[in-house]
């Protein structure tokens, strides 16, 4: 499989599907007793015919609500789950075969899982990782020290992991996951639960690692700041199916039904009482100190409304913006999500395989 440029993509997915047999029963003692004798199940499609390619060196956001199929997809791509059907290739390897040459070139970082030994300093766990991957000692030390500097770990790596804060532990976990310099990173909620400072540090590190090594990154996150800082392209998945695959900047053009217009009046009207601009659009906010009013208008009406405002009022400042990306993503889910509840990812799908 090659792209239009003739180069094979780092990640190739075609018609990928994963189903689970989920037990079902009615409430009550009678139903519980019956299920012991004859267990009833239903088939749930956690991932339902997903197809996409990721070129080498690209950072792609993989977005969707809880239960959309994101983690199940990443687990299949990292070889932790065997697909029901379809094709998946990562760096030319079939992930489910878990070949050594494949495992040495990928990593998966999950924000809610640990790989470091809880009672040991991170440095000791790093030595274990060196032995597992059979890394040359000099190369390992150079990489380790570089990652420690990039992540600002410093003296933290000499403390037992259990003494680290969540943000400190996540940085140490990330360092450990990259000691073998993987060419493909699957990052599943790497900043979950972290404070703003720690999130920013992880985002900066991922960007720097991508720039230095040319690694391919597939990132899931509920924090849109992660996606906006790292990804030019996003794949939106819901109920196991892809709803959008394209530029992040174009997402608003396709799905945002409204524009936000901020209007600041001049000629002494700021602070002179709240103006009534409801005739131009839906008023969603007002700053009395600046005399700034926020209007929400249909996207198609934005040029006409802007012209009316400029003609009718003494405008000191006017800006037109797309709605926040979080609102756009929500619009994607509500406007194109399939209604079949059987396509939802089972709640325990995340725990069916080890994090690795």
Q: Based on the domain organization, do 49 and 151 belong to the same domain? A: yes
Q: Based on the domain organization, do 301 and 205 belong to the same domain? A: no
Q: What is the pLDDT of residues 197-222, one digit of tens each?
A: 888 888 999 999 999 999 999 999 88
Note whether 186 and 74 are within 8 A (CB).
yes
Note whether 265 and 313 are within 8 A (CB).
yes
Give the residue with greater pLDDT, 352 vs 165.
165
Question: How far are the Cα atoms of 11, 119, 173, 187, 188 from residue 164, in angstroms, in the given order?
Answer: 34, 11, 11, 21, 21
Q: Based on the domain organization, do 67 and 153 belong to the same domain? A: yes
Q: Based on the domain organization, do 200 and 314 belong to the same domain? A: no
Question: Which of 247, 273, 300 lies at the terminal end of a domain, its last residue?
Answer: 247
Note whether 182 and 107 are within 8 A (CB).
yes
In a domain, 16, yes or no: yes
304: domain CATH number is 3.30.70
In eight-state DSSP terms, residue 324 is P
Residue 352 pLDDT more than 70? Answer: no
Domain count, the chain: 2
Q: What is the pLDDT of residues 45-83, one digit of tens each?
A: 999 999 999 999 999 999 888 888 999 999 999 999 999
Q: Residue 68: its pLDDT value, please?
A: 87
Its pTM stands at: 0.76
197: domain CATH number is 3.40.50.300
Q: What is the pLDDT of residues 93-149, one digit of tens each?
A: 999 999 999 999 999 998 777 888 889 999 999 999 999 999 999 999 999 999 998
Other CB atoms closer than 10 Å to residue 46's CB: what's the count?
Answer: 29
Q: Based on the domain organization, do 176 and 293 belong to the same domain? A: no
Q: Where does 192-271 show beta strands of DSSP type E?
A: 216-220, 233-238, 241-247, 258-265
Q: Residue 167: its pLDDT value, please?
A: 84
Domain with 120 in it: 11-247
Note whether 35 and 108 are within 8 A (CB).
no
d(CA 157, CA 273): 58
Sole residue written with tokens 């069916």: 352
Q: Based on the domain organization, do 234 and 275 belong to the same domain? A: no
pLDDT class of 300 with cuts at 50, 70, 90? confident
Give the residue with greater pLDDT, 354 vs 191.
191
């Amino acid at each position: 499989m090659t792209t239009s440029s003739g180069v094979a993509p780092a990640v190739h997915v075609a018609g990928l599907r994963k189903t689970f047999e989920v037990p079902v029963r009615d409430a009550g003692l009678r139903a519980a007793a019956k299920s012991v004798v004859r267990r009833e199940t239903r088939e749930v499609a956690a991932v339902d015919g997903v197809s996409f390619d990721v070129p080498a060196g690209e950072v792609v956001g993989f977005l969707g609500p809880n239960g959309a199929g994101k983690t199940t997809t990443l687990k299949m791509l990292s070889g932790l789950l065997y697909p029901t059907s379809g094709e998946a290739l990562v760096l030319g390897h079939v992930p489910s075969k878990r070949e050594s040459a494949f495992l040495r070139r990928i990593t998966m970082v999950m924000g809610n899982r640990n790989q470091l030994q809880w009672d040991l300093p991170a440095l000791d766990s790093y030595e274990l990782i060196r032995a597992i991957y059979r890394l040359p000692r000099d190369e390992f030390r150079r990489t380790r020290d570089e990652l420690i500097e990039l992540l600002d770990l410093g003296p933290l790596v000499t403390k037992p992991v259990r003494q680290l804060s969540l943000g400190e532990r996540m940085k140490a976990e990330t360092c450990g996951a990259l000691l073998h310099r993987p060419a493909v990173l699957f990052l599943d909620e790497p900043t979950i639960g972290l404070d703003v400072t720690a999130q920013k540090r992880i985002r900066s590190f991922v960007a720097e690692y991508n720039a230095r090594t040319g690694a391919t990154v597939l990132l899931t996150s509920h924090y849109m700041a992660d996606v906006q800082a790292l990804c030019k392209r996003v794949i939106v998945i819901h109920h196991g199916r892809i709803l959008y695959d394209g530029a992040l900047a174009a997402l608003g053009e396709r799905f945002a039904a409204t524009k936000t217009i901020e209007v600041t009046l001049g000629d002494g009207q700021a602070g002179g009482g709240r103006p009534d601009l409801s005739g131009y659009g839906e008023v969603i906010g007002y700053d009395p100190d600046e005399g700034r009013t926020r209007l929400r208008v249909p996207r198609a009406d934005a040029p006409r409304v802007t012209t009316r405002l400029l003609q009718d009022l003494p405008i000191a400042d006017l800006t037109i913006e797309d709605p926040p990306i979080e609102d756009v993503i929500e619009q994607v889910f509500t406007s194109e999500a399939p209604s079949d509840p059987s396509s939802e990812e089972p709640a325990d799908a995340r725990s069916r395989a080890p994090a690795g």
